[in-house]
Amino acid sequence: MAVRLLGGLQIQGPSGALYLESAKTGALLAYLALAPGEHVRGKLQRLLWPDLPDVRAARNLRHALWDLRRTFAAAGASVVQASRSRVTFAASDHVVVDALELLAAREALRTAAAPGRDGFRIVTPLWRGELLDGTLIGDVPEFEEWLQIERERLRAAAVEVLRALVAQHRQAGELEVALVRARELVALDPWREEAHRAVMEILASAGDLPAALAQFEQCRRILAAELQTSPATQTSRLAASLRGAAGAGQPPGAALVRHNLPAQITPFYGRESEIATLEQLLDTPDCRLICLLGPGGIGKTRLAIQVGLRRVAVAGAGGGRYDGVWFVAPQDEDRGGGLHEAVAKALFAGTQAASGELDPEQRLVDFLRPQKTLLILDGFEHSLSQTGVLAELLAAAPLLSMLVTSRVRLPLEGAWTIEISGLGVPPPGRRGVQRSPACQLFLESARRVRASFSPTPRDLSDIAKLCHAVEGFPLAIELAAGWIGSLSPHQIVDEIRRHPGFLGESGSELRAVFESSWSRLDATDHAVLAVLSVFVGGFSREAAEVVAGASPASLRRLVDSSFVRFEATGRYSIHEVLRCFAGEELERAPAEHQRARRAHAEFFARRLRGSRGTWGRDGGCRLLDEVAAELSNLQAAWQWALTAGQPEVIANYLDCVVLYAQARGWLHGAETLITQAIDAFHRQRPELAADLLVARGTLRIRMGRYERAREDLESVLQSEDPGGEKHSLAMAQLGACAYYQGRYDEARARLDEAIARVGTSSAGAMCRVLRGRVAMEKGQHADAEALFEAARTMAREVGDSANERTATNQLGMAAYFRGDLGRAEGLFGEVLASARVAGDVGLVEEAATGLGIVREAQGAFAAARAHYEEALALCRESGNRRGEAYVLTVIGETFRVTGELVPARQLYADALVIAREIGADHLVGLLLGNLAYTHAAAGLLDEAEATLREVLQHYERGGSVATALPALISAAEVLHRRGASTRALELLGLARAHPANRKDHTVEIERVLAVITPTVSHDALTRHLDRGMQRALDTEIQKLLEPGALGGRRKDL
């Protein structure tokens, strides 16, 4: 949505104009937007209501803030954040404020970026008038003074940006846009002669000399009427030059370039890197023949014309000599006449050869020989038989350069080739959608169909998906936008998803482009390209050879014909639009279609079987990288196996899919595939169904969907032989599930049973790691460390580096809990480095979190948060909700221990929501313990009491002692603050002496002791701490849960 502050306040939402209740609310909006940072409420009250009592001014401010929230919420947006004391401007991503865009463009200019091109939206017109023009808000002198200063600042910014835009568009050859901006500059500052001269020069370059002279007359009249002066010498000389040129019937100045470039009626978007490359090549003397190679509809012609216009503009501005830039339209070889005639028609249009003059070919050569000329030859795939003519002309005219567009590579030595792909598509997420060239093209095309089209945030998201789906293919984007009169962007995307050929229906321009190119292939390449269409996301040369029988020569021909792209990675790909068309050709032969799909699926099954043995060893990263590169192909093969009833394909792919999902965080995608396979084969192949259920249960544990995981795994126990491998794996994963839910006794029993069955294996190592984590939660730290060491040793024995890293990471945690920060840091760092090399995202999350915990213990909170933020981003990207909740918890810790209790409580609350949603009872207990710490430290004793009671009740139901000790420590702080210091010291003595006490608990014990110590004698302190060491944990927890146990009177110590 748009907020216009320049020229008067206007707010435009997706459904039309929005209105604020009062002018002062608009003034508040402008002030907050243009004066960044936090503003004290009292200051805002004095600014806008200086004559009112504080109570009434505060009420008016509250109402104005309510009005802003209400108005923008109606359009699904927000612009302010307010606390009890402060107010901040914080607009939603899709709220565009014209004044802020203007200032951002000026900042981009000052940092050498390109306004309007490097991420800034430049509205037209840029300057609509003064800030809040016409807004009357009464006698508010301080605000009026601010307003006057801001108006001057914004006017100066507009002048600065417009001057830059005029220069930028002139240099780019965009004369029409440059003229619009120059006239804006004249309107903004009519006394600036520089602006008048820019208008005159642009009009002269466009050949409109009368209009250029009329602009001079307007300049002369304004200066005479307003300033009683005449134009400067530079302006008068330019006018004289224009009059002389007009009288001679020639363009003014020798620098102006003759050309026949077709006028463009739509804006040009993107292609900055391609233009930069082309201009560099055109400025290189040895580079005289350049071919823009790409499929039809990719934008080759428009790019070539744009480069030509830039050449004209640069030469016209004195930036280099060009005698002519000539455009030659595509030629049909069947019509005769030849390339010489086509070029001659372009150069000599409107003239006739004199009687007795040389033959046309010689006339053309004589004309070109002495001139520095750029020929743009469009659609040369229609004229390949005349490639020799290009060589002849280049040899005869040494100053001639050629820019050729073609769907087929030029078979000519010395030709430079630039492969043209789609327009730039938006990055992931909603930010920057309207700034990507592909989306800009869609929006401009859509508005030609429906001028009132104003995209909502959801529309923008769908437009981004559409642009990604067609890979920025300009013709496809324009055709999609053509449906905006009858379909929403979401509906267009759905149509493309359900029917990929939707944009290329019979008779459409896109279909015609494809069929024209397809007709130029021979039968062999027809067959190869059709089979290659089964590949999704690209393919290797080996895959093309095995599946499609593609020889190196055939691949080269398809690359040279713009059907196949050779990527920098060494892989090949087919543009998605062309792949859909080729796929339709393959489907015309059903038997061949099924053969191709089977060959595709079997090829990747063989590849995965060959790579599977490298997992867990040094080659594990190679396996993950290969799966990542072929993930789209694997999904396509999986879907074919489901529809064709091929369970063996699923069985061959399953292990690698699960390994990749766990290591690289592709949890939701893998779960979806496995669920589809279970639905398809649970009756037909019960053994495969059991494997699929174990796999899905494993992934669901990682995702925090514990109850659903238990359902999957319990069903395997019920259907499988108790002595079988699947039964043992299901038992081990049920132990993991019980651990993550905080059911430690159950976890221990299941894991012990699994350990007894699986022997020395990767599964055995995994079970020992989990069994060690259970022991740690029970406070059995020595047992835990022994289990981790055993797991690491077993993983090494079986060559399983993944489980070796996992066990090492847990040894790091054990070292941290016993206070050995140096060893912990070394182990976590070792795992982090190894996991990065292996591409194991899951362990990168855990090791980064571990390093963060160590840094926090060392007091390096900024470094700790940096590690935590990396882990949090990975958790969110992979869908690891338990990991996300845990990392939010430890980030909250960094705020709590530094006394920033408000952000700490918010982070704990966010984590608690996730933990409760996924049923992670242990994590819930941990969070409640941290909240109890926070409430007690803040003096919120009732809240602390309620929270720690919940933790203690959870412990009595079988919870972890690791969560009970924080509750005990919080209870001590509450009791001390309520005057029962004796009881508080005894609880701290109990916690300090308990076998489950560890580094993080000790820190909190010492913090609370530091609060109590100044209030008691040394003897009393020692006596009551020692007495607490004799207490039993379960007994004291039962006492604390009795009514009134946490409220008492201070005893005399």
Residues 403 and 295 in one domain: yes
Q: Is residue 607 part of a domain?
A: no
**Cα-flanking dihedrals φ and ψ of residue 408, to 5°?**
-125, 140
Instruction: Dig out the tokens for 276 from the structure.
Output: 């930069």
pLDDT tens string 306-319: 999 888 876 655 55
Identify the CATH number of the domain in which residue 97 sits: 1.10.10.10
Identify the CATH number of the domain in which residue 716 sits: 1.25.40.10
Identify the CATH number of the domain in which residue 301 sits: 3.40.50.300
Ranges of H-type helices in 588-704: 590-612, 620-629, 631-644, 647-664, 667-681, 686-703
Q: Is residue 366 part of a domain?
A: yes
Nearest CA to 521 out of 573, 572, 595, 585 is that of: 585
Give the per-residue pLDDT at 289.
95
Give the per-residue pLDDT at 458.
83
Per the rule left: phi > 0, alpha: psi between -120 and 50, beta: everything else, 386 is: alpha
Residues 482 and 517 in one domain: no
Q: Is residue 886 part of a domain?
A: yes
Give the per-residue pLDDT at 245.
64
Give the per-residue pLDDT at 483.
87
Residues 371 and 474 in one domain: no
Q: Is residue 139 part of a domain?
A: yes
Give the per-residue pLDDT at 455.
83
Tell which of 373, 390, 419 closes a domain.
419
Residues 456 and 567 in one domain: no
Q: Give the global pTM.
A: 0.59
Residues of the chain with confidence (pLDDT) below 50: 114-121, 248-255, 350, 354-355, 616-619, 1048-1053
What is the distance between the alpha carbons of residues 800 and 794, in angstroms, rounded to a whole number? 8
Residues 870 and 982 in one domain: yes
Parent domain of 540: 511-588
Q: How many domains does the chain have?
A: 6
Ranges of H-type helices in 897-960: 901-918, 921-937, 941-956
Residues 491 and 369 in one domain: no
Residues 34 and 125 in one domain: yes
What is the distance between the alpha carbons of residues 416 and 293, in angstroms, rounded to a whole number? 10
pLDDT tens string 937-967: 888 888 889 988 888 887 887 666 778 888 8
Residues 538 and 565 in one domain: yes
Q: Is residue 744 part of a domain?
A: yes
DSSP three-state, residue 12: strand
Residues 377 and 515 in one domain: no
What is the distance between the alpha carbons of residues 762 and 767, in angstroms, rounded to a whole number? 9
Q: Is residue 178 part of a domain?
A: no
Residues 330 and 451 in one domain: no
Q: Is residue 609 part of a domain?
A: no
Tell which of 100, 132, 150 closes a domain.
150
Nearest CA to 368 out of 405, 335, 402, 338 is that of: 402
